[in-house]
Amino acid sequence: MTASNPALLPDPPLFDVTDIGKKGVEGSIERFALDELELAPNARRDISADGLERLAGLLMQAGQLVPLIGHRHKAGGPVTIYEGQRRLLAAKRSHELAGTEGYEGLNPVHSLIVLLLDHEPNADEIRRIQAIANNARESLTVVDQQNQFADCWLARAGLRDEDRIAGVCADLGISAKKAHNLRRQVTLPDPIRARVAERPVADQLSATMANQLANMNEIAPQLTQAVAKRITSPELHEKAVKDLGAFVHRTVVEDEHTYAVRIDDGAMLDGHEQVQHARAHLSQESIGPLAGILGCEPDKLEKELDTLAARAKNKALKVRITGAIRDRARTGRYAFVYDRGQDFAASIWVIDPAFMIDLVREQLGEQTDGAPAIEQAYFGNAKLSEEEIRDAAAEDHKRRAAERQRQADAERSNLGLGHDIAAGLIDPTAHQLDALRKIVCHLIANHYREVIAYGAGSTNRERQQPVGDTGNYEPRHTDAILAAELKRALDEPDPLRGIAQLAARWGAAFVLNPDGVTRTKALGRERIARRLSDSLPGGVSALRGAVWEFMRPMLSPNLAQLNRDAFVLDEALESTVRLEQHRGDSDLSDVDLGDDTETGGT
């Protein structure tokens, strides 16, 4: 028989649970004040500040469920904690949080329950204690988290959404962001919801993708299922997250069973094709409402659609998409809308076939000789006379004329505002300059939260917090740093200096020495690198030059040398060759031809 590896042989357990005959436990349980507890070295060094705050809230609300593990070396001496580092740090943090916003009415933690070992553990035992404690805790799967949230959310029914979210966060010990994510995910169909994962692989979905699908599912369930079905690999998942609009467009092109018609402003759609395409996707639930729109009985709908398609084909109808049509589809929730940012028009896909059929019917009625159409289906059951329709047309003409007059007046008013602005900026008042400072500072703070917190949190000890008892420091929470820097800028008596204060913290983020910044924290250099690149792209730009001119006088020689190549382009090398002399005019008298050399006698 092969001998066992001695490294794999079991060590004597600290608490033997294999022998049922034993009645005693190797240790005792006692309660100690926080100032009696001290931490032993621990393998866990990267501790989330947000996680500590949530754990502190749970300790203040629900108390301690699991005791710490430690040992008291001598009577009356401190207790060394080997397992329970986060609970002890959270208990100390509770003294700062109790009574603040979100923790109103809660009392801080003053003591913790500790399971005392009957002997001082050696280094191997300490490693085993900490490893077992860390490995024994398995996080809930995402599906279990969703179900847990759904149960807790249902139990809090009747409260305002803000209070409901706060209650669920307190019950489950999760952040508000996590709660909002779970709230969106539970609205998804079960097959899609089951694919959500924290670190997606294969055809799994990230929380970001799940949130986008949940928003889509509120309007377009069929389109949501088609998009989710197409995400079958990490590459496709990345494309969908990067540009959902393009991904949806490609999905609709490839999947003929999904109804979604893209309506871009100014597009011309074939009326006959739209009717035929829409009627093929009509559901049983949409037949009744569509029959009401067309003014026929449900059993006559097919015949009415045949007539409508024939009329559109005979007139070669082209449906012109206008801004009004896009707005009607958006506000009526007849379409899925993907906003591409303030610089681009939104992408809109109509997902209701009845909307497109009604649009064709409406535009067929508008193709007349200029007089109001008498036989429009919209007026089919109103029994209006021809005279009443002419009166309505005249009234509509007056309304349009009044709208044009209002538009002209508004345009003149806007141009007048431009002249007033030019005059008002000649000598701005102190109140205007202070308001300008607030505008600029809030814009910078809103757009560059992490960058400012990274720069300020790495250059100012007041913006940092200790990491346990290690003697190291890390930046405080982003919101805390940002609030303090914004207050400093707004409290500065000189508005321009106030703007400079905030801009300097933003600029500091680009000239830090990376060796002095942590790598993996929330404000670590690896996580913030993408933000820095987006905020100040590389290459030649006026902004990079301005940042260097602003920050250079404040940099030490070492930092200036370290960052110079990133901001200053290489200048042309100075040549030691005096080209003007070599290219100047010359004379034969200046050339040594050897005439003065003595020659031998003949």
Residues 206-229: tens digit of each pLDDT: 989 999 999 999 999 999 999 999
Name residues of the chain where pLDDT drops below 50.
1, 7-9, 368-381, 383, 571-577, 579, 597-602
Q: What CATH code is carried by the domain that includes residue 112? A: 3.90.1530.10
In-domain check, residue 145: no
The bridge status of strand 37-39 relative to strand 464-466 is: unpaired
Task: Give yes or no: residues 354 and 437 share one domain.
Answer: no
Where a domain ends, among 258, 286, 316? Answer: 258
In-domain check, residue 10: no
Task: Give yes or no: residues 559 and 443 share one domain.
Answer: yes
Token pair recorded at residue 29: 């349980």
Task: Give yes or no: residues 279 and 352 share one domain.
Answer: yes
Task: Give yes or no: residues 313 and 325 share one domain.
Answer: yes
| CA–CA dist 118, 474 (Å, integer) | 36
Whether 185 and 210 have beta carbons less than 8 Å apart is answered as: yes
Phi, psi at residue 47, to the nearest 5°? -115, 125
In-domain check, residue 103: yes
Chain segment 256-275, per-residue pLDDT in tens: 889 999 999 888 999 999 99
Whether 25 and 79 have beta carbons less than 8 Å apart is answered as: no
In-domain check, residue 576: no
Task: Give yes or no: residues 291 and 343 share one domain.
Answer: yes
In-domain check, residue 585: no
Helix (H) or strand (E) holding 70, with range, is strand 68-72
Q: Give the closest residue to 176 by CA, choosing from 340, 57, 338.
A: 57
Task: Give yes or no: residues 73 and 114 share one domain.
Answer: yes
User: CA dihedral in degrees (187, 189, 191, 197; nearest 10)?
Assistant: -20
Chain segment 67-87, per-residue pLDDT in tens: 999 999 888 889 999 888 888
Q: Model pTM?
A: 0.48
Tell me how far CA of residue 233 lies from CA of 5, 185, 205, 216, 217, in angstroms. 42, 20, 10, 20, 21
| CA–CA dist 48, 468 (Å, integer) | 11
Question: Token match 């059929």: residue?
Answer: 357
Task: Give yes or no: residues 352 and 232 share one domain.
Answer: no
Chain segment 373-430, per-residue pLDDT in tens: 444 444 444 545 567 667 777 887 888 888 888 888 888 888 878 877 877 787 888 8
Phi, psi at residue 216, to the nearest 5°? -65, -35
Whether 92 and 110 have beta carbons less than 8 Å apart is answered as: no
| CA–CA dist 228, 192 (Å, integer) | 7
User: CA dihedral in degrees (70, 73, 75, 76; nearest 10)?
Assistant: -70
| CA–CA dist 215, 437 (Å, integer) | 37
Q: Give the closest residue to 309 by CA, choosing from 355, 277, 267.
A: 277
Task: Give yes or no: residues 252 and 291 share one domain.
Answer: no
E strands, 399-548, in order: 464-466, 473-475
The bridge status of strand 79-83 relative to strand 37-39 is: parallel
Where a domain ends, among 226, 258, 290? Answer: 258
Whether 459 and 512 have beta carbons less than 8 Å apart is answered as: yes
Task: Give yes or no: residues 454 and 487 share one domain.
Answer: yes
| CA–CA dist 461, 5 (Å, integer) | 51
Sheet containing 27-33: which strands, arranged edge to edge? Answer: 27-33, 111-117, 68-72, 79-83, 37-39
Token pair recorded at residue 473: 């420091």
In-domain check, residue 388: no
In-domain check, residue 405: no
Task: Give yes or no: residues 120 and 67 share one domain.
Answer: yes
Tell me how far CA of residue 57 lies from CA of 38, 47, 91, 168, 545, in angstroms. 21, 16, 9, 12, 47
> Count of domains in the chain?
4
Whether 563 and 514 have beta carbons less than 8 Å apart is answered as: no
Task: Give yes or no: residues 305 and 247 share one domain.
Answer: no
Where a domain ends, among 258, 285, 313? Answer: 258
Question: By residue range, what is the domain housing residue 350?
Answer: 260-367
User: Is residue 247 classed exposed, middle or buried when 0-12, 13-18 and 19+ CB atoms within 10 A define those classes?
Assistant: buried
Task: Give yes or no: residues 562 and 444 share one domain.
Answer: yes
Name the 3-class secondary structure at 407: helix
Cα 198–179–44 angle (5° rounding)? Answer: 55
Length of the chain: 602
Name residue 119's beta-bridge partners: none
| CA–CA dist 421, 136 (Å, integer) | 67
Question: Token match 């395409």: residue?
Answer: 277
Residue 487 corresponds to which amino acid?
K
Whether 311 and 276 have beta carbons less than 8 Å apart is answered as: no
In-domain check, residue 270: yes
Q: Give the closest residue to 455 by CA, choosing from 397, 501, 391, 418.
A: 501
Phi, psi at residue 268, to the nearest 5°? -115, 115
> For residue 84, what are the contacts with CB-CB under 8 A and spacing of at least 6?
66, 67, 68, 69, 70, 112, 114
| CA–CA dist 598, 593 (Å, integer) | 13
Name the 3-class secondary structure at 99: coil
